[in-house]
Amino acid sequence: MSIAASDGKIGRMGVVGVLKVQRAVLRRCEQRTNSWEWTGRIAARRGVPAANELCTGAWTANKAAVRFARAPLGAASLPIRGKTKLEIRFWGVRGSIPTPGEHTRRWGGNTSCLEIRENGAPPIVLDCGTGARELGRKLLSEPGRELFLLFSHFHMDHVYGFPFFLPIYTPGYRIHVTVPAYSADEAREKIARYLNGVYHPTRLRELPSQVDFEAVRPGPAFQCGPFEVKALALNHPGGSLGYRIEVGGKSMAYLTDTAPFARPGEGVAAGQQEIPRESKVLAFLKDCDVVVYDTMFDEHEYLEKMTWGHSYPEYAASICRAAGVKHLVLFHHAPERTDEEVDARAEKWSSYEGMRVTCAKEGERIVVEPR
């Protein structure tokens, strides 16, 4: 809700509006909660564990919504004006396939998912890999009931988590889904392929939350609440979009999945003049505070797999330093990359001159302070 007055307090009409929303959510959720619980039990008796898990998750989501509806008015998440921090949290950092186990315990085995926050506004979620499951559970413990979900593309490691993202099963939750597409109908259809009753028990039309769909193409900036967002076409089989997000003079960019924009021996990484496609990337990243960049491969691995659509640290660092980026985060770790190998990569790049370079770690927060 964004009905805050200029002094950060809620006006009389805002109070009335919030109370009406709370009462409506309470009535609807209490009716649905028992239904989901009993449906889940019946599914379990019939030997349909996937449906049982879905119903249990939806039951949990509805219970969380009931808690919100019963909460005191002051618990509502309302934006407060003033200088605040831009916060980036990593919920999934792995590429291609989730890799749980002892060898990825410290750096993380969930696939791509980031949460972007600023000033109490509804968050932006970048991609919905398996990391989105835990993020969804966390979001339901908070009073806010709105978010913006931006997909980079629809390879499965970036979509795995969407059917298990509890906000979509929560009545009263509004989710703005932005998809690389040419129309809202096409955007909806791309998501519906995964929620069609075949690949998952849920159908998109059955979701109790309010899900809006928007198409995005590279071009003019668009708004997600207070965030200004721009999209850039990346270099990946089937296509992918990178995003630059700005708010309050702070900026971050998310570039995954993408191969280098120049061939080996050409362009910025080779110490030469950038090629035209690199010029667009440099302008897109110019003076960015934080850039999260796909560096799935080492350089020798990239040379063996140039058509796979992923990059390597040397190229990402060359591009980001040339663009004046302050902090580069190496992201989309290869599924076979062990904690010890990521340790070695982090140590190697910690002494890079010209900007800070770190490796993405599941659960880690990066905070861009107010200027």
Residues whose CB falls within 8 Å of the CB of residue 187, separated by 6 or more in sequence, listed in order: 177, 178, 179, 181, 213, 214, 215
| Helix/strand/coil percentages in the chain, nearest 5 | 35, 20, 40
pLDDT at 216 over 70: yes
> Does residue 107 contact residue 329 with C-beta atoms inside 8 Å?
no
Domains in the chain, number: 2
- In percent, how much of the chain has pLDDT > 70? 77
What are the backbone angles phi and psi of residue 37, rounded to the nearest 5°?
-60, -45
Structure tokens that stand for 301 in this block: 């691995």
Structure confidence at residue 62 as a pLDDT band (50, 70, 90): low
Instruction: Give the residue-averaged pLDDT of 61-81.
Output: 41
Residues 267 and 320 in one domain: yes
50: left (phi over 0), alpha (psi -120 to 50) or beta: alpha
C-alpha 289/C-alpha 320 separation (Å) is 10
Whether 1 is covered by a domain: the verdict is: no
What value does the mean pLDDT take over residues 203-227?
A: 96
pLDDT at 20 over 70: no
Verify that 48 and 194 share a domain, yes or no: no
| Range name among 13-17, 112-116, 206-210, 353-357 with the lowest pLDDT average | 13-17
DSSP letter assigned to residue 87: E
pLDDT tier for residue 237 given thresholds of 50, 70 and 90: very high
39 pLDDT above the threshold of 50: no
In terms of residue numbers, what domain contains 322?
86-368
- What pLDDT is stored for residue 264 in this prediction? 93
CATH code for the domain of 222: 3.60.15.10
pLDDT digits (tens, 9 = 90+) for 77-109: 334 345 678 999 999 999 999 999 999 999 999
Residue 329 forms part of a structural domain: yes
Res. 370 pLDDT band, cuts 50 70 90? confident
Half-sphere exposure of 112 (CA within 13 A, CB side): 29
Residue 3 within any structural domain of the chain: no
How do residues 192-203 score in pLDDT, each as one tens digit?
999 999 989 999
114 pLDDT more than 60:
yes
Question: Minimal CA–CA distance to 362: which of 162, 165, 115, 144?
Answer: 115
Domain check: are 25 and 154 in the same one?
A: no
**Helical (H) or strand (E) element with 40:** helix 12-45
What pLDDT score was predicted for residue 168? 97
The per-residue pLDDT for range 136-153, each reduced to its tens digit, is: 999 999 999 999 999 999
Residues 19 and 95 both lie in one domain: no
Q: Are residues 27 and 160 in the same domain?
A: no
Q: Which ranges constitute the DSSP H helices of 90-218?
A: 132-140, 184-192
Say which DSSP state 89 is in: E
How far is 274 from 255, CA to CA, in rounded Å? 18
Which of 28, 50, 74 is at the close of a domain?
74
Question: How far, CA to CA in Å, does 332 sit from each of 50, 112, 190, 198?
Answer: 28, 7, 23, 29
Please tell me which residue, 194 or 331, carries the higher pLDDT value.
331
Under the banding of pLDDT at 50, 70 and 90, the label for residue 34 is very low
- Is there a single domain that holds both residue 196 and residue 66? no
Average pLDDT over residues 38-44: 41
Q: How many Cα atoms sit within 13 Å of 341 on the Cβ side?
A: 12
Residues 132 and 65 both lie in one domain: no
What pLDDT score does 72 carry?
A: 35
> What CA–CA distance (Å, rounded) separates 124 from 239?
21
Same domain, 43 and 23: yes
Final residue in a domain of this structure, among 74, 99, 118: 74
Q: How confident is the model at residue 84, as a pLDDT? A: 74
Whether residue 7 is predicted with pLDDT greater than 80 in this model: the reply is no
Q: Kindly state the average pLDDT of the residues 50-76.
A: 44
Whole-structure pTM value: 0.80
Both 198 and 299 in one domain: the answer is yes
Q: How confident is the model at residue 57 (pLDDT cuts 50, 70, 90)?
A: low
Mean pLDDT estimate for the chain: 84
Beta bridge partners of 90: 114
Q: Which of 52, 74, 96 is the last residue of a domain?
A: 74
Instruction: Check whether residue 311 and residue 361 sit in a common domain.
Output: yes
Flag whether 7 is in a domain: no
Task: Specify the pLDDT at position 52.
Answer: 45
Q: Does residue 199 share a domain with residue 120? A: yes
Structural domain contains residue 234: yes
Q: What is the pLDDT of residues 284-296, one digit of tens each?
A: 999 999 999 999 9
Considering the domain architecture, whether residues 325 and 182 belong to the same structural domain is answered as yes
In this structure, are residues 358 and 88 in contact, taking their beta carbons and an 8 Å threshold?
no
Predicted confidence band of residue 368 (pLDDT cuts 50, 70, 90): very high
Residue 68 domain flag: yes
